[in-house]
Amino acid sequence: MEMFKVHSVKAAREKLVENFKDFKCEVEEIEILEAEGRLLGEDIHSKLNVPHFRRSTVDGYAVISKDTYGASESLPMFLEVLGEVEMGKAANMKITTDKAVYVPTGGMIPEGADAVVMVEYVEKLDSTNITISRPAVSKENIIDVGDDIRENQKVLSKGVRLRPHDIGVLSSIGVDKVNVFKMPSISIISTGDEVIDPKEELQLGKIKDINTYTLSAMAKEIGLNIVERRVVKDNKELLKNTLKECIEKSDMVMLSGGSSVGTKDITTIVINEMGEPGVFVHGVAMKPGKPTILAKAHNKPLFGLPGQPASAMIAFKVFVEYFIKNIFNLDEYEDRFIEASMTTNIHSAPGKETYQMVYLEREDGEYKAHPVYGKSGMITLMSKAKGYIKIDEDKEGIKEGEKVRVNLF
């Protein structure tokens, strides 16, 4: 029986990146209203200034700031009102010494004015005269041309995940369509004679399919397009034909089960028959998830994850999700995590990266992380866990009360 040649998580990731350093994703042009959550496929530079005219940030009177110097409640300054600016229209008046024009919030600043005095500091004497009880400084309550965004300025970088406020930025500079990355397509295969569809009648010795559903949801959550989802019996020719078909129709393939060194675990053999280089990692120094497979065939990544659901989830986060984030150079803000205090001591496996599932409680304004214990095949591990913590291979464990980073599912 062939045993694992175990790689560290770091070394396995390096091999993954090296084998797919030329992996590229196409882009497609879509309307910005459809782009929320998509990854930007190009740098966006503004073709105009925002704002493209001087605007008031308050309701008030546009003035020449020098005309207000020394103004106070006991000694106000008197100014003549030339009129008012209407929203959405150009200010066609010019302000000269001792003159003022009323401007609403967002309205255009008339030529000659360099400040706006808020209405709170103005008293109307009649339809054409006001007093000002507070001095204004140059550019007070004014946004100048290009103060927000300058023409030719880069406003969004390639690879950023577009959020609602990014859509607003795009609309503000007149962009109605953007190029976004087409996310890779993936096929998901679960192996095992014991695995049946949830709709099938349960018999002794059989288990309902969990992994294709769980892994499909996780893949969808990070943006992958699922083109195929199959449950395959432990039959070499059947698995080989299914894998070949999935490789042809998708950019990536993920298999769960059949990755250990048992007599019926044929995943490695089948993958190696798909083409060079085949399996380049089989066995990772991590707990759970040691039998993880990383492979390449027809220039496409193949991931062999453990059959135990909790282990498969961890292996997905550590390698599949990592791979996608590496392709697009996603920043750390993409990671969803919470800082918490550990409620008990946690021991780790010597020489392995240990991943411990936890659930969270909030006490006295602080999150507490509680370990979820159980064998890796237990469904309660998945239902109770809100995330997991990572213990580095050179660390003996986590002490009670120690601050930890909980990576959220």
Residue 2 predicted with pLDDT over 50: no
Q: Which residues contact 241 (CB under 8 A, 6 or more apart)?
A: none
Residue ranges in 162-253 assigned as alpha helix (H): 164-172, 211-221, 236-249
Q: Are residues 196 and 328 in the same domain?
A: yes
Q: Compute how many other C-beta atoms are within 10 angstroms of the C-beta atom of residue 247.
A: 20
Q: Are residues 215 and 241 in the same domain?
A: yes
Q: Which residues contact 175 (CB under 8 A, 6 or more apart)?
A: 32, 44
Six token digits for residue 11: 């070394």
pLDDT of residue 1: 39
Domain containing 256 — which CATH number? Answer: 3.40.980.10
Reported as a single tens digit per residue, the pLDDT across 195-218 is: 767 677 777 777 777 889 999 999
Q: Are residues 367 and 321 in the same domain?
A: no
Residue 26 predicted with pLDDT over 70: yes
Q: Are residues 193 and 295 in the same domain?
A: yes
Residue 98 zone, left/alpha/beta (φ > 0; ψ -120 to 50; rest): left
Q: Are residues 33 and 174 in the same domain?
A: yes
Domain containing 106 — which CATH number? Answer: 2.170.190.11
> What is the residue range of 354's domain?
336-408
Give the 3-state secondary structure of residue 133.
coil
Half-sphere exposure of 317 (CA within 13 A, CB side): 24
Q: Are residues 362 and 379 in the same domain?
A: yes
Q: How far is CA 207 from the centre of its chain?
A: 34
Domain count, the chain: 4
Q: Are residues 33 and 171 in the same domain?
A: yes
Selected residue with higher pLDDT from 264 and 274: 274
Q: Are residues 208 and 327 in the same domain?
A: yes
Q: Which residues contact 252 (CB under 8 A, 6 or more apart)?
A: 184, 185, 186, 187, 224, 300, 301, 302, 303
Out of 143, 173, 198, pick the residue that ends a domain. Answer: 143
Q: Are residues 100 and 190 in the same domain?
A: no
**φ, ψ (nearest 5 deg) of residue 243:** -65, -45
Six token digits for residue 154: 């880069």
Reported as a single tens digit per residue, the pLDDT across 84-111 is: 999 999 999 999 999 999 999 999 999 9
Reported as a single tens digit per residue, the pLDDT across 127-156 is: 899 999 999 999 999 999 999 999 999 999
Q: Are residues 42 and 103 in the same domain?
A: no
Q: Are residues 187 and 328 in the same domain?
A: yes
Q: Are residues 293 and 400 in the same domain?
A: no
Could you give the percent of the chain with pLDDT greater than 90? 77
Distances in Å between the Cα of 374 and the Cα atoms of 66, 206, 270, 393 are: 75, 21, 32, 21
- pTM above 0.85? no
